[in-house]
Amino acid sequence: MTYAKYSASGNDFVIFHTFIEKDYSQEAVKYCNRNEGIGADGFVALVPSNEADFKWLFYNSDGSEASMCGNATRAVAHYAFNNGLANSSMKFITQAGLIESHVEENIVETQMTKPIVIKEPFEQEGLTWYLIDTGVPHLVTLADDLENYDHDLCSKMRYEHNANVNFAKVEKNGTLKVRTYERGVEGETLACGTGMVACFLRANDLGLIKEKAFVYPKSNEELTISKIDEKIYFKGAVKKVFTTTV
How do 107-111 and 97-104 pair as beta strands? antiparallel
Compute the distance between CA of residue 144 and CA of residue 118 in angstroms, rounded to an integer.
24
Exactly one of 32, 69, 154, 199 is catalytic; which is it?
A: 69
Q: Is 154 marked active-site? A: no
Exactly one of 32, 154, 192, 199 is catalytic; which is it?
A: 192
Binding site, annotated residues:
11, 60, 70-71, 164, 182-183, 193-194
Apex 108 CA angle, 37 and 187, nearest 5: 40
What DSSP element (H or E) covers 231? strand 231-237
Helix (H, G, I), strand (E, B) or coil at 61: coil
Sign of the CA dihedral 5, 71, 137, 203? positive
Compute the distance between CA of residue 181 and CA of residue 201 in angstroms, rounded to an integer.
18
Q: Is 69 marked active-site? A: yes
Neighbour count for residue 184 (Cβ, 10 Å): 22
DSSP state of 204: H
Instruction: Tell me which amino acid residue 75 is.
Output: A
Sign of the CA dihedral 104, 107, 108, 111? negative
Sign of the CA dihedral 179, 181, 183, 186? positive
Among 33, 40, 34, 36, CA closest to 16: 40
Binding site, annotated residues for substrate:
11, 60, 70-71, 164, 182-183, 193-194
Active site residues: 69, 192
